[in-house]
Every structure is written in structure tokens, then in C-alpha cells.
Amino acid sequence: MPRPALEVAEIFRSHGAAWRKANAGHLSLGQLKAMAAIEACRTAELGGHVAACEDCGHTVISYNSCGNRHCPKCHVWTAPAVQEESDFSAM
């Protein structure tokens, strides 16, 4: 699946602070925490690791994910797994 042209995290990083200021007092702590997690997801803020090719020395930095269930990058919907877990026909 190709990467989307625009991601929620990019919007939050660009406009999140102004939006939170404009909506101060109307957001729950959970909403603020989710926004902060999404903004930090897969950035240096959460740390990461470096993989290097032993042959050519090419390095790739992979940043850690936030793991927040509301994050579009971290939230994985696996329909077949969910269907297996909720299959009551076997009862």
C-alpha cells in the first residue's frame, strides 16, 4: 500500500498547537495525550534504532512508534484475526 500524500501526524505537527489553543477548555486530557502521541510517533522524540548494511555501509534510521490505539500509523485493523477471535459458531 502506498504511503498517503498527507498524514494526520503532519497536520497535527503543523497546526496542532494553534488548534489546541483555539479549543482550550474543550478538549479532554485523553484527547490531548492522543494528539501528543500522534505528533511524536516515528520521530526522534521517541528514539529509534539504526540498521547498517555490512557490505556497503548504507544506514537506515527507524524511529519508534507511539503505540497509541488512536494513531493511524500504529493502529492495525486485522479483520481476519478479529473474525477468528469473535467466531461464536464454534460454541
Residue spans of the domains in the chain: they are 8-90
d(CA 38, CA 8): 8
Q: Examine the pLDDT at 3 and tell me if it is beyond 90.
A: no
Positive or negative torsion for Cα 17, 11, 19, 63: negative
Question: Residue 79: what pLDDT?
Answer: 44
Global pTM? 0.72
- For 71-84, what is each residue's pLDDT tens digit? 998 886 544 554 45
Q: Examine the pLDDT at 51 and tell me if it is beyond 90.
A: yes
